[in-house]
Amino acid sequence: MTRASVLLLALTLTFATVRSSAVRYVAENNNNNDDSIPYAGQAPPLYPRGDPRRCLEVGRQNGYEMMRFEVLPGFGWDNLRNVYEGQVVTFNYSQCRTTDDGRFLLPDSVSAVPIKASHVHTFAELITHWKNWTSSTARSINVDAGLSLTNFGISGKFSSDFEDVKSKQIGDKSLTTRAQLRYIRYQVQLQPDTPLHPVFKSRVLSIAAANELGEREQARFLAQLLVRDFGTHVVTKADAGAALEQVDQIREDWVLSQQEKKSDILASASASLFKVFKMSASYETKTDDKFVDAYQKQRTSSSILTKGGPLFRPANFTPDMWALAVDQDLVALDRSGDPIYYVITGSQLPELPASTLNEVYTNVKEAVETYYSYNRIPGCLDPISPNFSPSANTEDGSCKPPPTNLTFGGVFQTCAMQPGSDNGNLCADLPQVNPLTGGFSCPAQYQAVKLHSGSMTSSRTDHVCHRHLLFWKKCHDEYHHSLATYNFYWCVASGPVPPNSGYLFGGLYSSKVENPVTRGPTCPPTFFPLKVGDKADLHVCISDDYEFGEEFSVPFAGFISCDAGNPLAVSDPSASQGPKKLQGHGQKKSLPPGSKPHGNLKQFFHDKASEWPQRCPDGYSRHLATVDQGCQINYCVMTGAMAGPVLPPIKRPPFVSDPPVPPPDPNNMVIFDPATKTWKRNGAAQAMLLEPAAQSSGENSDSSSEASSSLSAGAAAGISIGATLACVAIATIAVLAVRSRRQKGRAGYRRLQNPLLEPQEDYGSVRESGRTASTVTVEVAGENGQ
């Protein structure tokens, strides 16, 4: 073979080797679910698939620079405070998707549309009342909250910008103008059925497990924790861009004197914005400079805000510089979303059966509505009304003065233990007598109205052991359970009552709600609390000291609950002391059998507590007292009587105490099986818990057998012979030892051959050796001796 043939053969073999190595490398990567092929002369990516840093690294290796898109939907949103909460959906970057213009990296489940327009939107607005203020970055989600009409009106009312405007309008007696320059670059949207984030999903499954176990209070508590940590809504859409904003507070009297020049006021606000940001002549308005100067002189405060883009530096800030750098720092200029319980669907949670899914949906929805209810403050919002309530955030039509004052006959609560309860007396602290009667009743000319009925439970398991036969113990678990039912009543006047009768009402409080009268968990001076409700947590402040307590009292007009409406809302007060008697039936709440209503429609509804109106009488406002085991209890007081602070602090969930965890019961166990996507109960659940131990044992035995089978035949034979010889040696030694002991046992008594002592007669004599000695006969008993 010639040298050329040898060289050709060598090159061919080298090429084949390299080609086979490359094919094997790609095959191994494909087996690892890695679709990327390394580039020539470059190291493989350092990060796993789905990690955004992998996409950025691969892009850099190809000479392609891009940034991660930061304005992402899919996060939780507290729609009362307008702040982000925990992440609801999970993001994956396995597809390395980008915006259509290729500038930004997007998650697989998010789409973005670039707004290819250079239009910058400018506008100004005049806000004459703080209730009309809307957020410039969350208007859509605040307005379209997806909630009931009674709740959505307070969306955004605890945000920092709203509280700033409200406090300045009330404190400075001013009105507000807002001028904006907005530049929207992208519109992003979350794809339907995006997988839930593992942390959020785990929390939802915990609520499902509590429902499966029948632990309703635990499910309610966990749902309120979910709302606390992940918000009331989930963001599904957002407008990304940047904005320049100026908010001015203008003296109210000057604005009212210029009502016919509203357009000039707005133009002055825009001109002031342009002047601050040094706009070019194309942005200038034709507003009279004198009017602009007058506008600026009437300002009590002014705020300059930049949202997105570069930081605002008054010395060298220009609109051109801002517009060029907008893409470097995009923010959300508007958000849209749905209530957070909208993501609790069968497609998102296929593990849950339909009935359990509906219970979880209801738990979370109730938690969101409870959060809104605790922070809804009805009242008169008209500053010129005598009933004006500065702390109110919802108009309830109570600006008109009430026609009369209504008396209060006190409250009381009964409690009864279920027969057979053996885990303590739960009714020890729940009963509450009415001090006016000294018992569980109302005074004469007052009617008892059952406001709510609830229950309390307590359970424990004792591990009890006792002796069995002589050496054994026998143990078992003893389950103890107690159940108590309580009923909460209040007393309404059923007719005219004498002057200075009944109680003065001094507000109420609980562990979750402060007393608006004292702004703390206390009663006013000369008032005493009556403890009612779940765990006697609701404290109703009453007093009969008309001389000194009246200055701290609040005009009271009844309670409202989920079980009973307010009878005073349909009463027709004919005197200043109380409403007209409720159809003349005294304590009765229903018509006698066979009778017909003998009056008007108002009188007919007096007889059914569940059909009484869920509202307060005219001139009175509704306030939340507590939520007792899911039932809202409200009370009515005269509007403006409990003005409260201008900016009341928000009340955050949870609004129920963490219920005690019941002892583990092997007959009431629920476990989710991810393999079959089903819930296992009781016996099946216990068997599933034992499977890992059985599998571990099997794996250990398998590994032992594999290890032994891996030994060579010679090694196995050597080990076998060695073990046999060792057993024979041990047996031989044992036999010899037993035989020796038996021989010693047959000897009985024996005499020692060598005397230990000398004879008795020589005792004490001195020999040549100088030693004293004696001889003693000693008999030593053998093992068989007596």
pLDDT over threshold 90, residue 94: yes
Contacts of 74 by beta carbon, 8 Å cutoff, 6+ apart: 87, 88, 89, 91, 109, 110, 190, 194, 234, 235, 236
Calculate mean pLDDT across residues 97-114: 92
Among 31-45, 68-82, 271-285, 613-627, which range has the highest average pLDDT? Answer: 68-82
The alpha carbon of 612 is separated from its chain's Cα centroid by a whole number of angstroms, namely 34
Helices (H), 317-353: 319-324
- Which position has the token pair 């001094």? 506
How far apart (Å, rounded) are the C-alpha atoms in residues 437 and 131? 46
Predicted local distance difference test score (pLDDT) of residue 27? 35
Residue given tokens 């034709």 in the structure block = 286
Length of the chain: 786
Q: Which of 658, 635, 429 is nearest to 531 (CA)?
A: 429
Helix-, strand-, coil-residue percentages of the chain, each rounded to 5: 30, 25, 45
Mean pLDDT value across the chain: 77
Beta bridge partners of 631: 628
Going from N- to C-terminal start, the domains of the chain cover 1-32, 75-370, 389-588+602-638, 749-786
How many other CB atoms are there within 10 angstroms of residue 234's CB atom?
26
- Both tokens assigned to 556: 């009271």
* Phi, then psi, of 284 in degrees rounded to 5: -75, 155
Highest mean pLDDT among 209-218, 461-470, 690-699: 209-218
The DSSP output letter for 89 is B
Cα distance between residue 625 and residue 559, in whole Å: 9
- Distance of alpha carbon 433 from alpha carbon 444, whole angstroms: 16
Contact present, 624 and 151 (Cβ < 8 Å): no
Tokens of 267: 């133009």
Look up residue 757 and give its DSSP letter: S
pLDDT score of 771? 41
Structure tokens at 472: 């054994």
Q: How confident is the model at residue 764 (pLDDT cuts 50, 70, 90)?
A: very low
Provide CB contacts within 8 A for 659, sequence distance 6+: 215, 217, 218, 221
> For residue 38, what pLDDT is reported?
44
Mean pLDDT score, 727-739: 66
The type of residue at 620 is Y
Residues contacting 115, CB < 8 A, separation 6+: 184, 185, 186, 187, 241
Tokens encoding 75: 């996060």
Give yes or no for residue 10 having a pLDDT over 50.
no
**646-682 tens-digit pLDDT:** 888 999 999 988 887 666 665 666 666 666 556 666 6
- Cis link prior to 45 (omega < 30° from 0)? no
Strand partners of residue 407: none
Encode 543-556: b = buried (16+ Cβ within 10 Å), e = exposed.
Answer: bbeeeebeebbbbb
Predicted pLDDT of residue 575: 36
pLDDT band at 344 (very low <50, low <70, confident <90, very high): very high
How far apart are the C-alpha atoms of 580 and 584, rounded to whole Å?
9
Q: Mean pLDDT highest for which of 17-31, 173-187, 219-233, 325-339?
A: 219-233
Residue 259 is predicted with a pLDDT of 84
* pLDDT single digits (tens) 743-759: 555 554 444 444 444 44
pLDDT at site 481? 86
Residue 239, token pair as written in the block: 């407008």
pLDDT band at residue 141 under the 50/70/90 scheme: very high
Residue 175 scores a pLDDT above 50: yes
Task: Enter the tokens of residue 577.
Answer: 């002391």
CA 538 from centre of chain: 23
Residue type, 93: Y
Contacts of 564 (CB under 8 A, 6+ apart): 449, 450, 451, 452, 609, 610, 612
Triad 675, 665, 201: Cα angle to 5°: 40
Residue tagged 């129920």 (tokens): 656
Report the 10 Å Cβ neighbour count for 448.
20
Q: How far apart are the first and last CA of the chain?
A: 107
Calculate mean pLDDT across residues 25-33.
38
What single DSSP character describes residue 170?
H
Query: How far apart (Å, rounded) are the C-alpha atoms in residues 499 and 497?
Result: 7
**Residue-wise pLDDT tens digits, 419-451:** 988 888 889 889 999 998 999 999 888 889 999
Q: Cβ neighbours of residue 259 under 8 Å, at least 6 residues apart?
A: none
Between 23 and 325, the more confident residue is 325
Radius of gyration of the chain (CA): 43
Per residue in 542-575, pLDDT (tens digit) is 998 888 888 888 889 899 998 899 988 875 443 3
Given a cut of 60, whether residue 599 has pLDDT beyond it is no
> Hey, which bits of 252-298 come out as E strands?
none
pLDDT score for 403:
57
Q: Are 634 and 374 in contact (CB under 8 A)?
A: no
**DSSP per residue, 686-741:** HHHHHHHHHHHHHHHHHHHHHHHHTS-HHHHHHHHHHHHHHHHHHHHHHHHHHHHH
Burial of 692 (0-12, 13-18, 19+ CB in 10 A): exposed
Strand partners, 408: 503
Q: What is the pLDDT of residue 286?
A: 54
In this prediction, residue 314 carries a pLDDT of 67
Q: Which pLDDT band holds residue 588 (cuts at 50, 70, 90)?
A: very low
516-548 pLDDT per residue, tens: 888 889 999 999 999 999 888 999 999 988 888
Residue 711: CB atoms within 10 A of its CB come to 12
Q: What are 658's two structure tokens? A: 């963490």
Distances (CA, A) of 769 to 45, 306, 756, 766: 101, 120, 17, 8
Weakest-pLDDT range from 43-52, 382-391, 425-434: 43-52
